[in-house]
Amino acid sequence: MRKIIINGGKPLSGEVAVSGAKNSVVALIPAIILADDIVTLDGVPAISDVDSLVEIMEIMGAKVKRDGETLEIDPRGVKDMPMPFGKINSLRASYYFYGSLLGRFGQAVVGLPGGCDLGPRPIDLHLKAFEAMGASISYEEEAMRLATDGRAMQGAHIYMDTVSVGATINTMLAAVKAQGRTVIENAAREPEIIDVATLLNNMGAHVRGAGTNIITIDGVDRLGGTRHQVIPDRIEAGTYIAMAAAIGEGVRITNVLYEHLDSFISKLEEMGVRMTVDEDAIFVEKQDNLKAISVRTAPYPGFATDLQQPITPLLLTAHGRGSILDTIYEKRVNHVPELARMGADISVLGGKIVYNGPSQLTGAAVKATDLRAGAALVTAGLMAQGRTEITNIEFILRGYANIIEKLTALGADIQLVED
């Protein structure tokens, strides 16, 4: 068993570079199945989710070359075959193979997706879109079979009952080679959707409106190769900004797109966090006398659900009483008892997180219950007096590239150990 050991209380300083966006790359890699030539991605983060996706692509017949943050994929040898269930079941983003395989082969047999347990994350919106485009759906043990029975996917007018990043991207993937026009209404607007649309368009697709709530896709017969730069990870950037504000003495975070973090930065400014925003970097000063705030997550451009857990330890340094309400994932509260174990005055009342600050944290043995909860515990461990031991760290490694090395370079006493 691997775990992270942190000897806390050591202030952070220096510079840290943000890696490519996890939430983009887990969709970009399956999207490459649709190409009829080699596609190269630059800025690919060194995370375990990428490792799993690369292994899946190779099992399916793709040729993959990896050199640091560059990933070259030749999808021409990809075969129409059932997906490798073990890997699929470990990844929430495995559902992007539904859309890409439907778009290329007109059918897909894929194991039901896994990932972090954050409460209901139904894929009914994805299936509704696929059915509207001509696919039938059946279940085979722990897998789902999607098929068009030899017919081409057909363009359709699709209204998303709720805003969903996954369903929006999956519909785009299924639609780019469909016959005719597909219109997605009430589409999600996240930067990662724009990133996927940019890749598809560079491959020869006709996708318009990404980043707005109406996306129009005109199907094409062929998609070619291209080279694409993955956008910076706004969630990783927010995590390091929160760490820097919580226990930093001057930290510069680079490879940041400020416009992707607007609502997050606004909340930090409401707390009184002092920082300087440059063109592609943010410098966070040493903080004092922060005030408590309340946070409510919302679809983009609102406060990202993926940042509510990483910001929580910072909130514990503020004076006063505040709350966090996650309107996206109701079970995204599993970090709360772990923080309470470290001495935080924090609890869940009626689905809302309530905290009183400032809290002096003490090192303890804690468990990461999901990816962003794990990030929160790393920040708490850096803040705490004494030794913190974090288990279940596979969640953390799914989404934070080289986190041990990056924090060590900032002055943290942190290490990954094999038990």
Question: Which CATH number is 309's domain given?
Answer: 3.65.10.10
Shared domain for 146 and 216, answered yes or no, is: yes
Q: How far apart are CA 377 and CA 39, in angstroms?
A: 37
Domain that residue 48 falls in: 22-229
Residues 67, 174 within the same domain? yes
My answer on whether 187 and 268 are in the same domain is no
Q: How far apart, in whole angstroms, are the C-alpha atoms of residue 80 and residue 108?
A: 8
Instruction: Using DSSP bridges, classify how beta strands 387-391 and 294-296 pair: parallel, antiparallel or unpaired.
Output: unpaired
Categorize the per-residue pLDDT at 419 as very low, low, confident or very high, splitting at 50, 70 and 90: confident
pLDDT tops 50 at residue 295: yes
Q: How far apart are CA 407 and CA 34, in angstroms?
A: 38
Residues 6 or more apart whose CB falls under 8 angstroms from that of 197 comprise: 172, 205, 207, 210, 211, 215
Rounded to 5°, the CA angle 321-117-328 comes to: 50
Mean pLDDT of 406-410: 98
Mean pLDDT on 201-209: 98
- Residue 85 CA, chain-centre distance (Å), reads 21
pLDDT at 120 over 80: no
Q: Binding site membership: which residues?
A: 22-23, 92, 121-125, 306, 328
Q: What is the pLDDT of residues 251-261, one digit of tens each?
A: 999 999 999 99
- pLDDT band of residue 408 (cuts 50, 70, 90) is very high
Domain-ending residue, one of 229, 259, 292: 229
Q: Is the pLDDT of residue 124 over 60?
A: yes
Average pLDDT over residues 400-414: 98
Length of the chain: 419
Using the 8-state DSSP alphabet, how is residue 260 labeled?
Answer: G
Q: For residues 372 and 72, what is the distance between their CA atoms, to the nearest angstrom?
A: 29
Residue 41: the pLDDT is: 98
The pLDDT, as a whole number, for residue 146 is 92
The pLDDT value recorded for residue 143 is: 77
Q: Is the pLDDT of residue 391 over 80?
A: yes
Query: What is the rounded CA–CA span in Å between residue 38 and residue 72?
Result: 7
pLDDT of residue 86: 59
- Which helix (H) or strand (E) segment is 298 a member of? none
pLDDT for residue 116? 45
Task: Examine the domain organization and report whether 284 and 189 are in the same domain.
Answer: no
Q: Judge if 201 and 326 occupy the same domain.
A: no
3-class DSSP state for residue 273?
Answer: coil
- Rounded to a whole number of angstroms, the CA Rg of the chain reads 21
Shared domain for 208 and 286, answered yes or no, is no
Is residue 75 a contact partner of residue 62, using CB atoms and an 8 Å limit?
yes
Tell me the β-bridge partners of 158: 184
Q: Which residues are annotated as a binding site for phosphoenolpyruvate?
A: 22-23
Asked about 116 being catalytic, the answer comes back as: yes
By the 8 A CB rule, do 161 and 135 touch? no
In this structure, are residues 142 and 168 in contact, taking their beta carbons and an 8 Å threshold? no
Residues contacting residue 35 through CB under 8 Å, at least 6 positions apart:
75, 203, 223, 224, 225, 226
Binding residues for UDP-N-acetyl-alpha-D-glucosamine: 92, 121-125, 306, 328
The Cα 77–Cα 63 span in angstroms is 7
Q: Is pLDDT above 70 for 118? A: no
Q: Residue 83: pLDDT band by 50, 70, 90 thresholds?
A: confident
Q: What are phi and psi of 199, to 5 degrees?
A: -60, -50
Strand 248-254 relative to strand 294-296, pairing: unpaired
| DSSP code per residue over 14-75 | EEEE--B-HHHHHHHHHHGGG-SS-EEEES----HHHHHHHHHHHHHT-EEEEETTEEEEEG
Quick one: pLDDT at residue 119? Answer: 47
- Residue ranges in 216-298 assigned as alpha helix (H): 234-247, 262-271
DSSP state of 201: H
Question: What is the count of structural domains for the chain?
Answer: 2
Looking at the chain, the whole-number percentage of residues with pLDDT higher than 70 is 95
Residue that is last in its domain, among 214, 229, 244: 229
pLDDT at 258: 94
**pLDDT (tens digit per residue) in 39-54:** 999 999 999 999 999 9
For residue 30, give the nearest of 139, 166, 137, 140 by alpha carbon: 166
Given a cut of 70, whether residue 88 has pLDDT beyond it is no
Indicate if 375 and 342 belong to the same structural domain.
Answer: yes
pLDDT tens digit string along 157-171? 999 999 999 999 999
pLDDT of residue 129: 97
Of 229, 261, 284, the residue that ends a domain is 229
261 and 296 inside one domain: yes
Tens of pLDDT, residues 90-116:
566 688 999 999 999 999 887 766 544
The yes-or-no verdict on residue 154 having pLDDT over 50 is yes
Same domain, 167 and 108: yes
> What mean pLDDT value characterizes the chain?
94
Task: List pLDDT tens digits, range 314-346.
Answer: 999 999 999 999 999 888 999 999 999 999 999
- What is the C-alpha separation between 41 and 157, in angstroms, rounded? 31
Report the pLDDT value the prediction gives residue 369, as an integer from 0 to 100: 95
Which pLDDT score, from 0 to 100, does residue 95 have? 87
Same domain, 222 and 263: no
> Which candidate in 50, 116, 147, 382 is catalytic?
116
Same domain, 32 and 10: no
Look at residue 84 and tell me whether its pLDDT is greater than 70.
no
Report the helix count and the strand count for the chain, using DSSP H and E.
14, 23
Same domain for 331 and 314: yes
